[in-house]
Amino acid sequence: MSLSLQYLIREPKTIKDKNPLLILLHGYGSNEEDLFSFASELPEDCYVVSARAPHDMMYDSYAWYAINFTADATKFSDIPQAIESRELIANFIDELTSKYPIDQDKTVLIGFSQGAILSYAVALSYPKKVNKIVALSGYFNPEIVVDTFLDNPDIQNVKVFASHGNVDQVIPVEWARISSAKIKDFGIDIVYKEYPVGHGVAPQNFFDFKKWIETYL
């Protein structure tokens, strides 16, 4: 069975009737091998799947959507492409649960940067499909969530672990702080942490989000 996104997979050490699923979503200009380096350290009873974004930037670099830079160095997201990728990821989850014995109540998206932005979008658009996310060095973008997401009572079941480097020069930490406040305003359970790093994942950050995941598996 061919799936809509290319991916790497680490299967659980013990296959049960149903196993939890952790999906890794890399950032802009990276690929599926990047976050897959986490796989050996993640819980052994999970399927760990690292997906490749659909837009080829050449030289083993991929993006979930384009980021366009203007003359004054401000940047903006290609919203239609981002929405297409949101739908691709949502469909990819369905494909995985059809192919492997996955516990649909224990599916976690772990996204970095652009992958974190899309993790928010997928979970808030389709909270029955995935209701736990780890958003690393990203932010909530309301433009790429379905318009009616606040009317869906299932978003109250979403749980978020969000983290950011407090000297991030790519995505300002203020964006993450504003996002955390918005997510709380939606009545969603969010743990938000900052670390003394730039645009990356500190060892303590990895330990903290791994521990958070284990509480829900």
pLDDT tens digits, 35-78: 999 899 999 999 999 999 999 999 999 999 998 866 665 677 89
Q: Is residue 112 part of a domain?
A: yes
pLDDT score, position 91: 96
Q: Is residue 1 part of a domain?
A: no
pLDDT score, position 73: 58
Show the domain range for 30.
Answer: 7-214
Residue 192 belongs to domain with CATH number: 3.40.50.1820
Backbone angles phi, psi at 202, to 5 degrees: -70, 155
Phi-psi region of 187 (alpha: psi -120 to 50; beta: other; left: phi over 0): left
pTM equals 0.95
- Which tokens is 7 given? 């991916």
Residues 6+ apart with CB under 8 A from 215: none
Q: How many domains does the chain have?
A: 1
pLDDT tens digits, 78-106: 999 999 999 999 999 999 999 999 998 99
Other C-beta atoms closer than 10 Å to the C-beta of 92 total: 20
